[in-house]
Structure 1
Amino acid sequence: MSNLFVDIGNSSVSWEIDGDYQSVKVKGFDSGVIPIHQTSTIACVANHALIQHFNNPIIIQPKSFTGLVFDYNLAQLGVDRFLGILAGVKKYPQQNFMLVDVGTFVTFDSVQNGKHIDGGIAPGLQQLQAIKKFVGNDSQKSWKMGTENMLRDTIEQRCKDFKGKVLITGGGQKIVELEQGEYHQNLAIEGLKIINE
């Protein structure tokens, strides 16, 4: 039976089936690009109307997980964060790690000694840049450069101060270049596979 793993986020929809990964922007989403599948396991934090385009959807929600204590009300924890944490625990079951998801929002989560620690949610690059529009190309270019630098510096400093593995995921991860960072295409989808085992 072919199962499609789907991550519906704020600005993109991503999926994987039989090792083939695809990601498209929510704006201009066309259901014709979805591969043939019998069932779908879905993580959805926004754009819930898109669920209707997937066959026999199983919607995943955060829930307790053996060997992991959450520092968050699971009813309020974004499923993408939850699944990324599970993927990190599966990858590093005995090690401390920090998960940085650089997307529409930037989230920081760490697991230390089997306990999840909430590191916060911050605006992503597009949200930061949309706060102000300048008249004149030079000012707008300077604003773009300044917001990129600010976000990069914040992420890099947080990661530099962390003692453990650093996992970076999300559509905007290219803004950060960390020698100690492990870059992952989509840890939410990796977490969906773990839930589906």
Structure 2
Amino acid sequence: MHTSLLMASKINLLVDIGNSSISWKTGDCYSRVDIKDFQVSAIPQHQISTIACVANHELIQHFSKPIIIKPKPYKDLVFDYSLEQLGVDRFLGLVAGYDKYPEQDFMLVDIGTFVTLDIVRSKRHIDEGIAPGLEQLQKCKTFVGDDSQKSWRMGTKNMLRDTIEKHCDAFNGKILITGGGQVIVDIKQAEYHQNLVITGLEIINGK
């Protein structure tokens, strides 16, 4: 069999290893699990893997023939960040957004262990910052009383939600929301995506 046909027949597992969760996709099958609950036996059969990894690098060893993706120039998108320092998760999210809206301005909000905000305006990336996610915020303080702790959890959740929604309300363009913590916001004009890191891997990998 021709070499290219052999490569095409191999099962390529797309993997997103984050700070607190790990996700993978092969074909139409998508799975996500918290890092603390991850078991090697859950990994589906595959011959090669394409991996985006921002933390928990020791997990890479469990995947077959891993290809590690790093940020690199993409089409005519101008990055407002050193590509050597840009997180691969942010990079792939921007690739996914730019692939869908190459001629439109968009804001990408990734809500996970950390919250990242990125804007693409006139084909130029604008870094809007990194902030702690809900769990990180709530870990900052522990109260003795249950009522105070409950109030702290409610207050931090409301603060984070309001901050994200304020940024989105002020933006004139497409809004893409992704990440495991996206349930804390309800932005009517936004598009919600399960995992734009995986989508970016599909694009980089040629789908």
Aligned equivalent of 1:103, options 68, 92, 112? 112
TM-score by length of 2: 0.94
Which has more radius of gyration?
A: 2
Q: Deviations over 1:159-190 (max 9, x none)?
A: 00011000000000000000011000000000
Q: Deviations over 1:90-128 (max 9, x none)?
A: 111110000000000000001000000000000000000
**1:59-78 equivalence runs, <5 A:** 59-78=68-87
Describe the SS at the equivalent of 2:78: coil
Aligned equivalent of 1:28, options 32, 37, 47? 37
2:58 equivalent to 1:49: yes
Aligned equivalent of 1:157, options 163, 166, 178? 166
Residue 3 of structure 2 is matched in structure 1 by none
2:186 equivalent to 1:140: no
In the alignment, the residues of structure 1 paired with residue 53 and residue 145 of structure 2 have an alpha-carbon distance, to the nearest angstrom, of 39
**Pairwise CA distance, 1:66:** 1.4
In the alignment, the residues of structure 2 paired with residue 18 and residue 195 of structure 1 have an alpha-carbon distance, to the nearest angstrom, of 15
**Pairwise CA distance, 1:29:** 1.4
Aligned equivalent of 2:17, options 8, 27, 38? 8
Q: Deviations over 1:115-165 (max 9, x none)?
A: 000000000000000000001111000000000000000000000001100
Q: Identity across aligned pairs (percent)?
A: 66
Residue 181 of structure 2 is matched in structure 1 by 172
**RMSD in angstroms over aligned alpha carbons?**
0.5
2:104 equivalent to 1:90: no
Structure 1 gaps, min length 5: none
2:131 equivalent to 1:122: yes
Equivalent pairs counted in the alignment come to: 197
In the alignment, the residues of structure 1 paired with residue 98 and residue 33 of structure 2 have an alpha-carbon distance, to the nearest angstrom, of 27
Structure 2 gaps, min length 5: 1-9
Residue 195 of structure 1 is matched in structure 2 by 204
2:121 equivalent to 1:112: yes
In the alignment, the residues of structure 1 paired with residue 139 and residue 75 of structure 2 have an alpha-carbon distance, to the nearest angstrom, of 41
Describe the SS at the equivalent of 2:37: coil
TM-score by length of 1: 0.99
Describe the SS at the equivalent of 1:27: helix
